[in-house]
With several copies, the nearest count.
Chain A
């Protein structure tokens, strides 16, 4: 337990030291939304119905590339070997990395959500729907991403392959999140079918993704 905490603290500290690089996931989020708005013509009338989809696409793509370095830095500089020799289980290690990543990459997006909604002039209940869908769906995103990231360690130029591996896993999340956010308008939290599905997917993703990522890391290290 102690060493899981240590790992989380270290990861956050490294992130804060990296010259603001961790904040730039947020920047990508903002840039993606603005670019889409510009490319799509910029009228609220056309943009408003597209907004939940665009916001979720922004979330997915902003996260996607962050998984590339989740494990590869530790593997390349040799620290992963020392962690393995420390007797810490790979599952615990992956769990710690996933938690740190949630704090560093997803939490800022959740906090920034109201700003994004401003860009599209969306009603508050859709904002709320987006908010709930992000909270419920984010474990699935991080766990699948961690699995893909682990598979890619030692795989140069892996960014694009990461896309290929993660996307099929993420598509259901995307579908349920977007339509869940929209249907939240007319229903109470526990009635929204999509949110129930998302919760299930998150559970499955955590149960499969973390051990699978640990297994991949064990293999890759040999």
Chain B
């Protein structure tokens, strides 16, 4: 699959077909997810209507994390095989990934305001989500700050890979730190125990977000390939003559 798509031409064919499908799927899934989530699901006894933020919040955080994982994996492929397409993939994942993470943070904050009365808590999950956002921003800053794109790709790839090795450490430390210090920890309902009426819109939204991410990434990469084609033809190289003195 990977080596199949590594060819830009084949990739272009695949993406031309897949992008609109992903887009439509995303539209349908998110639409129905919102319908079930906002209208056709029970209120929470404790939290009332504000529980519905969950259908935006939880999938957003998950998609953000998935985007980071994809970015790190694509960077690894690019680093080993020096394939420009995987660099483009990693790069295309960064901005949407950061956006989903930010969305997760914002909706989480809103949710927090309604259920705990504060926008923010220094809680383990929340803190590690914030750090994830920092990692995304750092990755994008490297791309922005280095002119030569071949170089930028490799450095950014290293940043993504080192970050991914460190993510488990961050998560572990932060969770553990939080349990040590935070006595009145807030209980979040565990996903597996959720009733179907909550699970259904949650899953619809999650897949919807994922396809939306896929659509964004594929269209961005198609754009890149197209603009690389239309870039003005390079001027001819110098002619070289070698003569004996």
Contact = CB atoms under 8 A, between A and B. Distances in A.
Nearest to B128: A171
A43 B173 contact: no
A204 B169 contact: yes
B177 A179 contact: yes
A34 B45 CA distance: 34
Contacts of A169: 162-163, 166
B147 to A, nearest CB: 8
| Interface bracket on A | 35 or more
A219 B151 contact: yes
B131 interface: yes
Interface in B99-157: 109, 118-123, 127, 130-131, 134-135, 137-138, 141-142, 144-146, 150-151, 154-155
Interface string A146-169: 010001001100100100110111
A171 B158 contact: no
Interface string A26-48: 01000100100110011110010
Given A43-B181, A219-B154, A158 B134 contact: no
Given A37-B122, A161-B145, A168 B135 contact: yes
Contacts of A37: 122
B165 interface: yes
A118 B154 contact: no
B182 A20 contact: no
A165 B138 contact: yes
Interface residues of B, number: 41
A164 to B, nearest CB: 4
B159 A165 contact: yes
Interface in A178-222: 179, 197, 201, 204, 208-209, 212, 215-216, 219-220, 222
A49 interface: no
Contacts of A44: 118, 121-122
A175 interface: yes
B141 A19 contact: yes
A197 B162 contact: no
A168 B131 contact: yes
A71 interface: no
Contacts of B145: 18-21, 155, 158, 161
B137 A171 contact: no
A54 interface: no
A179 B122 CA distance: 16
B66 interface: no
Q: Which 10 pairs show the lowest CB-CB distances between chains A and B?
A: A42-B122, A19-B145, A172-B173, A19-B144, A219-B154, A164-B138, A175-B177, A41-B181, A121-B118, A165-B138
Given A209-B162, A216-B158, 15 more contacts: A18-B145, A19-B141, A31-B134, A41-B181, A44-B118, A44-B121, A118-B119, A168-B163, A168-B166, A171-B170, A172-B172, A175-B176, A201-B169, A219-B151, A220-B155
